[in-house]
Amino acid sequence: MHIRLLLIDALNLIRRVYAAQPGEDGVARTESALTASIQSLERALRECGPTHAVSIFDSQGKGWRHELFPDYKAGRESMPETLYASLPQFKAAFSECGVSSLEFSSMEADDIIGTLAHKTAENGGNVIILSTDKVFFQLLSKRIIVRDHFNRKDLDAEYVKERYGVYPEQFEDFLALSGDTTNNISGVAGVGPKRAAKFLNEIGNLEDILAVAHTIPGKPGEMLYRHGDDARLSKQLVALKTDLSFGLNLRDLRYIRGEEREKP
């Protein structure tokens, strides 16, 4: 069987859907989000045609990034209490659609997705990551794409080069320099996305840039020289783990379509 694995960034999907629902936070809005999330999942399954699929949730406990940088994700809007309390219902509904859910203590969904994507591609399978989080661009390859479900668009290396001016293999260094505000990772002040791409394409990788920071004129060079360790820390924080162990077998994630599940 040719493997086509759909990895669903569950909270990215659910919270985007929830934000689109009208009304105040509460039971009615959460129920609307549940219905809409099921519809979104079913559409993704139709459009992506996976042989295997799994929805991946963040652990609620703090992980290694918080230990490394206590202000990681500081300032991010917390999940509404009613929505959080209803997550088991979302998991149950996804299961009824033929998609199981994964969550591991102290592990971020990003790292679980990174590991499953990398290992599947390494073994000759194709991977679709359903998420609007740009951190996954570092994983892009001939076998791994990111799917913007809401705009019905597959994002590949060509998209990243056109949008950000760098290739996927440069994306960790790009975020290390320019920052990732979603997760409160500042990067290097004075080095925005355009300068980050320029430095990476003209000088080399992050370490190459830091090695010649003292020769770069103006504030960007000064900030790189003074805050090289901050850039290295940012790179550690944005880099996805691809070597975690879960004790899973890919057959555990096989997607069984509705008509097959309904057979006696």
Query: Under CATH, what is the fold of the domain 4-156+247-256?
Result: Rossmann fold (3.40.50)
Residue 62, pLDDT above cutoff 90: no
pLDDT of 258 reads: 63
pLDDT of 260 reads: 60
pLDDT tier at 1, thresholds 50, 70, 90: low
| Cβ contacts of 217 within 8 Å, gap of 6 or more | none
pLDDT of 243 reads: 94
pLDDT tens column, 112-168: 999 999 999 999 999 999 999 999 999 999 999 999 999 999 999 999 999 999 999
55 or 260, higher pLDDT: 55
**In degrees to the nearest 10, what's the CA dihedral of 114, 119, 122, 127?**
-60
pLDDT of 76 reads: 86
pLDDT tier at 262, thresholds 50, 70, 90: low
Tally of CA atoms within 13 A in the half-sphere of 259 that contains its CB: 1
Residue 63, pLDDT above cutoff 80: yes
Q: Measure the CA–CA gap between 224 and 127, rounded to whole angstroms.
A: 36
Query: What are the backbone angles phi and psi of residue 76, rounded to the nearest 5°?
Result: -70, 140
Residue 264, pLDDT above cutoff 60: no
| CATH, range 162-238 | 1.10.150.20
Domain spans in the chain, listed from the N-terminal domain onward: 4-156+247-256, 162-238
pLDDT of 135 reads: 97
Q: Measure the CA–CA gap between 177 and 234, rounded to whole angstroms.
A: 8
pLDDT of 102 reads: 95
Q: Measure the CA–CA gap between 32 and 177, rounded to whole angstroms.
A: 39
Residue 192, pLDDT above cutoff 70: yes
pLDDT tens column, 84-94: 999 999 999 99
Residue 261, pLDDT above cutoff 60: no
106 or 84, higher pLDDT: 84
